[in-house]
Amino acid sequence: MEAFEQGLIALLPRLRRFAHGLAGSGADADDLVQQAIERALRARDQWQPGTRLDSWLYRIVRNAWIDTARARGRQAKVMLPEEAGAQAGYDPRPAVEARMDLAAVTKAMDQLPDEQREVLLLVLIEGFGYREAAEILEIPAGTLASRLARGRTALLALLGEG
């Protein structure tokens, strides 16, 4: 298997997590990742070996998300995936508390403007550096830093901690 395919396969969980953060649901995230992978495979000759495959793929996921959002407009967002209620027979309190915290953060993230949510997802969740995230979003690093600061402040305020 070529390095391209190996790298693409290795990045699938991270791409799905990013897509889930953008789309707000597992099913939409899966559709988004599938669409992005199809685009990447069709445009494979545009990727330059020796450059960062992850940045290139994150940019494709983001662009696919923008295209999808424009095409269908904003739909009602699902707070938790359907699978969240499938477990039974154990003390649910710790999991419920964790899910409540996660649900609160998810709800707060969903209320942020897209440009702030994208920056928070890339830097805080995916662990990209400022320069890398700025390249993925195709914005100056200073703009990224500004959006990140505003996004953090807004997120904390929405969570009642600001």
Domain ranges of the chain: 1-74, 92-162
Phi/psi region, residue 89 (left: phi>0; alpha: psi -120 to 50; beta: rest), is left
- Class of the CATH domain delimited by 92-162: mainly alpha
pLDDT at 159: 84
pLDDT, average across residues 14-39: 92
CA dist 155 and 105 (Å) reads 8
| Mean confidence (pLDDT) of the chain | 83
Phi/psi region, residue 126 (left: phi>0; alpha: psi -120 to 50; beta: rest), is alpha
For tokens 């789309």, name the residue: 23
- Are 1-74 and 92-162 the same fold in CATH? no
Please give the share of the chain, as a percent, with pLDDT higher than 90. 49
- Of 3.30.565.10, 3.40.50.300, 3.40.600.10, 1.10.1740.10, the CATH number of 1-74 is 1.10.1740.10
Phi, psi of 138 (to 5 degrees): 55, 50
* pTM of the predicted structure, to 2 decimals: 0.60
* 87-126 pLDDT, tens digit each: 544 555 565 565 567 778 888 888 999 999 999 999 988 8
104 residue type, one letter: A
For tokens 């320069």, name the residue: 131
CA torsion, ordered 128, 60, 150, 20, to nearest 10 deg: -90
Local structure of 74: helix, strand or coil: coil
CA dist 26 and 78 (Å) reads 9
